[in-house]
Structure 1
Amino acid sequence: MNTSFSFNGENDDHEDLLTLSLSIGARSPATVPLNQFHSYLSSEISPLAPLQPTFTTTALPLPPLPLSPQEPIFFAAPPLQPPSTNLETAPIPCRGRAGRKPSIQALKQGKSEAVSAPYPWATTRRATVHSLDYLLSKGINVISGNLYCKRCDKQYEVEYDLRQKFMEVACFVSKNKCGMHDRAPAIWMNPSLPNCEFCDQNNYVRPAVSKKRSINWLFLLLGQMLGCCKLSELKYFCKHTKNHRTGAKDRVLYLTYLALCKQLDPNGAIDL
């Protein structure tokens, strides 16, 4: 008996049958009674159960048990190696740049710091002059020296007032010392020399210098002619006055000027 019902609101009295059209693939629709459909739903579909999480456990190694307070912890230290006494295998320390030579060196055998004073204002010690107070107390107010002209081959004597000329040098040093940067200025490196008294030529006159031990240091200081000295002569002065004597000429000349000023005025403001 093939009877089909449709739920369009017309046949509400017939609720015993329900036409279901199930289309699975290419199958034809099938009619299933409503009560069978209800029983199918109640038997096949159960209420949703709460989801249970799934865990995957992996066996991990257990950490070591802590030591008890009674068990001290010891660390094995490497054995101490005795210092090497073999010079061939001992490590050689690295060396940096060679240091500067000391400014104080012993004199050669047979030589002494004490010499005969070549001038009344010089002491018996090499490259050393008397103080200004000592010279003035002895009545030495004028310092003399010899100049030599290479043009006419003449030599003559020049005198300087001790107090006046020293004040000129001392004032110049005190005003310009900070700007010198431990180097002699150009006016000391290339001093202005007077014209020759005989031929009146310029740039031919030089201080007369014979031996290093006989250099008239005070005369050259007052005339600001120390720049006419050779570098070896300036190093000679710094050697015997215990000053640093290596480096360029402007450095050694600067030290020579200041050391002579310090000899003349030991308690003054000029210092190395």
Structure 2
Amino acid sequence: MENKDNKRKDQPSSASTNHHRRRNVKPKLTAVTPPNPEPQDQEIRELQTLSLFPTEPSSSSSHSQVPEFSSPPQPPPALAVVDDLNIVIPPPFPWATDRPAKIHTLQYLNQNKILTITGDVQCGSCHKKFEMEFDLKQKAAEHGKFLKDHRDSLHNRCPKEWMNPNPIACKFCGKEKCVKPVIGSWKEHSINWLFLWLGQFIGFCTLEDLRYFCKYNKLHRTAAKDRLVFNAYTEIFKQLIQAD
């Protein structure tokens, strides 16, 4: 009897021990180790270092990409424009060639019976236009002799009468020094260079006209006007006397 009672007394203690063991084990089973916060904290710290929108990482991320992707693509660099010095044009006058600012030689003009050179002039008073003409052989001989005799003393600059030519009298209204040559358009290649040379009218040309002439004759075109006028006179003389 005592053994049974002892067993009964021991049973509660065993249950109590098991209960306590279960209670001790349960906290260990239910206890969950919290996740390591280091990656998340690191990301927050990185976002906080951004200079723009530190509390809105997505906005700052998209904002940083705007300059790269929203700007339109840049166009390719423009190609350099090269002057075509070998263009062919319809000859504007019988004594002009099919190249800009080029005239035929005296030999060619004599062979083709082109001995009189004409051009248009206009009166500044009555505004009437009329045609003037020059004897090619006579004027070419006069200008050629002057260039040969004074070339060294001119120092590559034209004399005053070439730089500032005097207008002539009008045959309609009779007014003195009011008639000037009609300068053609260099854009249309219509300047009558031989007529201007024979009449000593090249000084009436503008700087743009003279630079056009120098450009197509491969002459220096950034000098003062008196030098450009001198270059035009000497170049036309060379074109006249050169051999075909």
Say whether the fold is shared (TM-score over 0.5): yes
CA drift at 1:203: 2.6
Instruction: Choose the corresponding residue for 2:150, options 176, 182, 195.
Output: 176
With a CA cutoff of 8 Å and minimum separation of 6, indicate the structure with the bigger relative contact order: 2
Counterpart residue type for residue 241 of structure 2: D
Name the counterpart of 2:159. Answer: 185
Name the counterpart of 2:192. Answer: 216
Residues 1-272 of structure 1 mapped to structure 2, 5 A cutoff: 106-107=82-83, 113-212=87-186, 213-266=189-242
CA drift at 1:262: 0.4
Counterpart residue type for residue 106 of structure 2: L
CA drift at 1:199: 1.2
Q: Distance in 2 between matches of 1:121 and 1:114?
A: 15
CA drift at 1:165: 0.6
Count of equivalent residues: 161
CA contact (8 A) 2:109 2:115 kept: yes
TM-score, with structure 1 as normaliser: 0.57
- Structure 2 residue runs of 5 or longer lacking an equivalent are 1-80
TM-score, with structure 2 as normaliser: 0.63
CA drift at 1:107: 2.0
Name the counterpart of 1:88. Answer: none
CA offset digits 1:19-78 (Å, max 9, x no partner):
xxxxxxxxxxxxxxxxxxxxxxxxxxxxxxxxxxxxxxxxxxxxxxxxxxxxxxxxxxxx
Q: Distance in 2 between matches of 1:199 and 1:235?
A: 35
Counterpart residue type for residue 195 of structure 1: A
The structure with the largest helix share of the pair is: 2
CA drift at 1:112: 6.0
- Structure 1 residue runs of 5 or longer lacking an equivalent are 1-104, 268-272
Counterpart residue type for residue 188 of structure 1: W
RMSD, aligned CA? 1.6
